Structure 1
Amino acid sequence: MGQVADGSNSAAVPASDPEAGESSSEPQSRGLFGRIFGALGGNSDDTDTIYHDGAANSAATPVGPPGLGNLRKMRVGDVAIPKAEIVAVPITTTRDELVEVFREQGYSRLPVFKETLDSPMGLVHLKDLALGWGFGAGSGRFSLRKLLRPLLYVPPSMPIGVLLQKMQVQRIHMALVIDEYGGVDGLVTLEDLIEQVIGEIEDEHDEAEDGLWKLEKPGQWIVQARAPLDEFEPEIGMQLADPEEHGDVDTLGGLVVTQIGRVPARGEVIVAESGVEFEVVDADPRRVKRLRVRLPGVAPAE
């Protein structure tokens, strides 16, 4: 889910501890995720290992269902959101501008950079902004630099189990993925890693899913990507998949991915041979979540 709302990231930090990012010393107890990693036969000292990009990382690891096995077989590069989708702010951002970004994006943490994203300086937490400058607090000149917290910097070839343990030990819940030239290549959060083990996490800020599809206007629907094809096709009165495709895919999201041979990006529009348009409303680098389905001859909304 990428940069996520606060609350879902707190499970790895004891309630009595300070906010994540304050300490880099290892606690006496390895913690929940240290025990998970140890159960797989891992070494707690693996967090000090340096991973280099190479031939072993040239092919992407296939994304399978959630499970403990993903901690070893999946790499950071498999789950990170790409650089183009990172929401970050420059160090020169004013208080009002920062509030507006948090309001529009709905994230609890944002990377902060100097001049370009390839020169990151740390992250800013919504809680720090609220406690320091909200509720009538704060006076004088606002300085984003004073709100900065540390970030982790990791290579894309690092196993996600190692990064999960590193986040738990250092209490830093966001990492930037760095390429071989030192530039930023992506971003990964604690929630992204946990979702590979237990499945998708939704909190009170996520939109509720009332049914698998909703009619927006005649000839146009908002559809959950997991909607079964054999149930949605009668709804629209059209066959979206040919008989051969019906044997390979069961859901609408699976049909779109199969037809174009990759996971589409958010905002992308795919036009099928039948003239039906599939607009990707919500997606991450690993899966499609919601689609807008528009029948032939139906004009897009203004």
Structure 2
Amino acid sequence: MVMAREPMSNEDRSSSSDHRSWLDRISQAISGEPRDRDSLVEILRDGQRRGLLDADQLAMIEGALHVSEMQVRDIMIPRSQMVVVRRDATTDELLPPVIESGHSRFPVIGESRDDVIGILIAKDLLQFASAGNASTSFDMREVMRPALFVPESKRLDVMLKEFRASRNHLAVVVDEYGGVAGMVTIEDVLEQIVGEIDDEHDVGDDTYILSRRDEGSVIKALTPVEDFNEHFGTSLSDDEFDTIGGYVAHAFGHVPVRGETVSLEGHRFEVVRADNRRIHLLMVRPEEPAARDEKPGRRSVSH
């Protein structure tokens, strides 16, 4: 028996028309109209407003589009912040930095940080760590892997393809003169698309401030300004911004990249982790008395 279909209501007809209209615009964009990326992004945002995409999906699409405009230098870990191991180190010397950092891969250096000769994977140490004669049987040359070197100017979308093709998770970044400028990981690239990726070594959800005795304090950008003031004895205003990340981003005047620094109220803020949309982690250090006499809010970029 053939059932008669109920007539479509005006509301359903209007909704169907809106969806079809939006999908038609997407089809036009894919076929070449509009021809610029900004127009395409605006169509996608329109789709999000209509409920065809949620905010996370839109953010990932925009992130995927954005990586083709970014270069490795925009997200790399500066050379000064690289956790490295020496070629002639014993397991007794290697285990403390490996355990403390929580990283899985480490550049192996010879005479200096410019002399990267390979990559040590932490799990390769396991067979030696528990052996009684570990310090004498361990030979770095037998366990380290070849290092992947890439220029600062390499686009992130190309970098991601290279990571996938080579099955490497870490690359050493070199400048135009061949010196080591820093390093980049596959996680750094993916975070530009999907946002921050937390692991067991990141600051916990219930923790905003993680103090380190010698290096300063690592804090989440989501730390309330009020909590920051209480912890550091500062008097930053929370009239305009609720979080320290918003306050610091305003001081920069743009969304900063990793390694950028700014001085505020006697403290130096260094961006530890950020993507193209917002800051995630900051390193905070008390500023030297001489530097406090300079103009407050000054900015600099360290690599």
TM-score range, shorter chain: 0.5 to 0.7
Contact 1:264 1:280 in 2 (8 A): no
For residue 129 of structure 2, the aligned residue among 131, 134, 148 is 134
Using the TM superposition, give the Cα deviation of residue 240 of structure 1 relative to its aligned residue in structure 2, in angstroms.
2.7
Using the TM superposition, give the Cα deviation of residue 126 of structure 1 relative to its aligned residue in structure 2, in angstroms.
0.6
Over 3 Å counting, the alpha-carbon distance change for 1:119 and 1:292 in structure 2 is closer
* CA RMSD between the two structures: 3.8
Which position in structure 2 is the counterpart of 1:69? 65
Indicate the percent of aligned positions where both proteins have the same amino acid: 34
Deviation readout 1:227-267 (Å, 9 max, x if unpaired): 455x7699899973386xx2xx553222124335685988x
For residue 272 of structure 2, the aligned residue among 269, 280, 283 is 283
Using the TM superposition, give the Cα deviation of residue 71 of structure 1 relative to its aligned residue in structure 2, in angstroms.
2.3
For residue 166 of structure 1, the aligned residue among 162, 165, 181 is 162
Greater RCO, CA 8 A, separation 6+: 1
Over 3 Å counting, the alpha-carbon distance change for 1:285 and 1:90 in structure 2 is farther
Over 3 Å counting, the alpha-carbon distance change for 1:239 and 1:87 in structure 2 is closer
Over 3 Å counting, the alpha-carbon distance change for 1:138 and 1:71 in structure 2 is farther
- TM-score with structure 1 length normalisation? 0.59
**Looking at CA atoms only, which structure, 1 or 2, has the larger radius of gyration?**
2
Q: Are 2:168 and 1:182 aligned?
A: no
Which position in structure 1 is the counterpart of 2:6? none
Contact 1:264 1:288 in 2 (8 A): no
- TM-score with structure 2 length normalisation? 0.59
Q: Determine helix, strand or coil for the equivalent of 2:137.
A: coil
> Aligned ranges for residues 24-173 of structure 1 at < 5 Å?
67-130=63-126, 132-136=127-131, 141-173=137-169
Using the TM superposition, give the Cα deviation of residue 114 of structure 1 relative to its aligned residue in structure 2, in angstroms.
1.3
Q: Determine helix, strand or coil for the equivalent of 1:164.
A: helix
The residue type paired with residue 115 of structure 2 is S
Over 3 Å counting, the alpha-carbon distance change for 1:82 and 1:121 in structure 2 is same
The residue type paired with residue 78 of structure 2 is P
For structure 2, the residue ranges without an aligned partner over 5 or more in a row are: 1-29, 31-58, 211-216, 287-303
Over 3 Å counting, the alpha-carbon distance change for 1:136 and 1:155 in structure 2 is same
In the alignment, the residues of structure 2 paired with residue 293 and residue 155 of structure 1 have an alpha-carbon distance, to the nearest angstrom, of: 31
For structure 1, the residue ranges without an aligned partner over 5 or more in a row are: 1-39, 41-64, 215-220, 295-302
In the alignment, the residues of structure 2 paired with residue 213 and residue 97 of structure 1 have an alpha-carbon distance, to the nearest angstrom, of: 29
Over 3 Å counting, the alpha-carbon distance change for 1:71 and 1:181 in structure 2 is same
The residue type paired with residue 281 of structure 2 is K
The structure with the largest helix share of the pair is 2
The residue type paired with residue 182 of structure 1 is G
**What is the aligned residue count?**
215
Contact 2:196 2:280 in 1 (8 A): no
